[in-house]
Amino acid sequence: MKEKITNHALRMLKKDGLKSFSMRKLAENLSIDPMTIYYYFKNKDHLMAELVEVVFRKFHEGLRLDEGIGNQEERLKTALIEYRTFFIQYIDLSLYLIQSPNQEYPAVKNLNDLFLDLILALNPCENPELTRDILIDFIHGNALSASNHVRKRASVSTNQFLLGQFRKSLNLLCSRLFYNTRLT
């Protein structure tokens, strides 16, 4: 039942967004008593934390960085591009995560550690945590901007254009961070 609740909650978040999500609506959609949900999750924040863990764990496990991907820089860029897509796909859950930064999420920490490992393998820079945070913040900002187009059902060509622009910007940022070149 717990898995059924989390799966349905994820579908509701994707469809209706975080603002209209409630435990009562979830119970109604599942045709169960709200107390059944509270048996598994003490409150909405507990459910949201479980959802964050589930989707971040699946994303991390689904990353395939060793299978035919070129050098370390390409591995890092592939992971960042996939993370952007993931962030857009789960935009409301991602926004919830950003709004609750004091909460500890093991799956998010594991993903952050993966990014840190990729950065260190590429370039053991002076402050790899700062480099990781800059890259992740860049992904978040770009994904938030792109998500507005996705929500408005932008055309495939618009989405491809946005992805192309993102890749160009990511290349420039990586050049600056790892090779100390100018951002031009």
| One-character DSSP codes across the chain | -HHHHHHHHHHHHHHH-STT--HHHHHHHHTS-HHHHHHH-SSHHHHHHHHHHHHHHHHHHH---SSS--SHHHHHHHHHHHHHHHHHHTHHHHHHHHH-TTS--HHHHHHHHHHHHHHHHH---S-HHHHHHHHHHHHHHHHHHHHHHHHTT--HHHHHHHHHHHHHHHHHHHHHHHH-----
Task: Convert the pLDDT of each residue in 131-151 to its tens digit.
Answer: 999 999 999 988 888 876 555
Task: Convert the pLDDT of each residue in 77-110 to its tens digit.
Answer: 989 999 999 988 888 888 888 887 667 889 989 9
CATH number of 1-42: 1.10.10.60
pLDDT score, position 114:
92
Answer yes or no: pTM beyond 0.95.
no
Between 84 and 180, whose confidence is greater? Answer: 84
Query: Which residue ranges make up each domain of the chain?
Result: 1-42, 51-179
pLDDT score, position 168:
93
